[in-house]
Amino acid sequence: MANDFKPPVTVALTGASGAQYGLRLIECLVAADHEVWVMISKAAHLVIDTETDISLPARPERLVEALGEMSGARAGQIRCFAREDWMAPVASGSGAPASMVICPCSTGTLSAVATGASNNLIERAADVALKERRQLILVPRETPFSAIHLEHMLSLTRMGAVILPAAPGFYHQPSSVDDLIDFIVARILNQLGIEHRLMPRWGESAPST
């Protein structure tokens, strides 16, 4: 039976600090009933091990199960692709979703995307998003930024990508790390045009939950 999910969104986690942003984004997309296509770089696995209590296997089939358990996804809602799975739909303009988010985005992947390296499936999928003029959102986390990072961000912005730094605000008076994570994830969902109740938009009052 064909699934009834909303259109797929590609989410790639790379090896910058802030794995929680990407994992929470997957959870929120699942909750919003979207299909989610996931890629996790080798370095991102190391960051996830360092920063969270979640243990994620590398093999795509097992990763689907683990992310499904973590997010409460229905069967078929999450698909995962390996580093060099060049036959994956994200590797071609004819199969790639309308939107891709790299969250968090390492400066290494930022540089590779800005220069079109396409040395792994994450970089290739981003290259496809750019060439097809699809939505590409990058969530870099580094501090301070070098001229190299800033120049790559500028050229990506000029190519139509959105640079959405992992720099949460504090005007919503966060009381936990989860509040800070949700601040960034809410911004990503706003960009994607996906409804959420993570935090009120500017000028709105807080949801009554």
Ligand X SMILES: Cc1cc2nc3c(=O)[nH]c(=O)nc-3n(C[C@H](O)[C@H](O)[C@H](O)COP(=O)(O)O)c2cc1C
Q: Could you list the residues that contact ligand X (CB under 6 A)?
A: 14-17, 41, 43-44, 46-47, 50, 106-109, 141-142
Q: How far is the CB of 111 from ligand X (least distance, A)?
A: 9
Of the candidates 74, 51, 54, 50, the one whose C-alpha atom is nearest the C-alpha of residue 64 is 74
Residue 69 class from Cβ within 10 Å (0-12 exposed, 13-18 middle, 19+ buried)? exposed
Minimum separation from the CB atom of position 32 to ligand X (A): 26
17: left (phi over 0), alpha (psi -120 to 50) or beta: beta
Q: How far is Cα 168 from Cα 182, in angstroms, rounded to an integer?
A: 9
Nearer to ligand X, 25 or 73 (CB): 25
Which among 105, 119, 192, 198 has a CA at the least distance from the CA of 153? 105
- Alpha-carbon distance of 185 to 103, in angstroms, equals 9
Q: Work out how close the CB of 121 gets to ligand X at its nearest, in angstroms, rounded to a whole number.
A: 11
Smallest distance from ligand X to CB 102, Å? 9
Is the Cβ of residue 39 or residue 188 nearer to ligand X in the bound state? Answer: 39
Return the number of the residue (122 or 199) whose C-beta is nearest ligand X.
122
Largest Cα separation within the chain, whole Å, is 51
Which residue lies nearer to ligand X by CB, 16 or 192?
Answer: 16
By C-beta, is 88 or 194 nearer to ligand X?
88
Question: Minimum distance between the CB of residue 74 and ligand X, rounded to whole angstroms?
Answer: 29
User: Least distance (Å) from ligand X to the CB of residue 143?
Assistant: 8
- By beta carbon distance, the residue nearest ligand X is 15
Give 98 or 150: the residue with its C-beta nearer to ligand X: 150
Strands 162-163 and 78-80: unpaired
Please tell me the distance from the alpha carbon of residue 17 to that of residue 14, in angstroms, as a whole number.
9
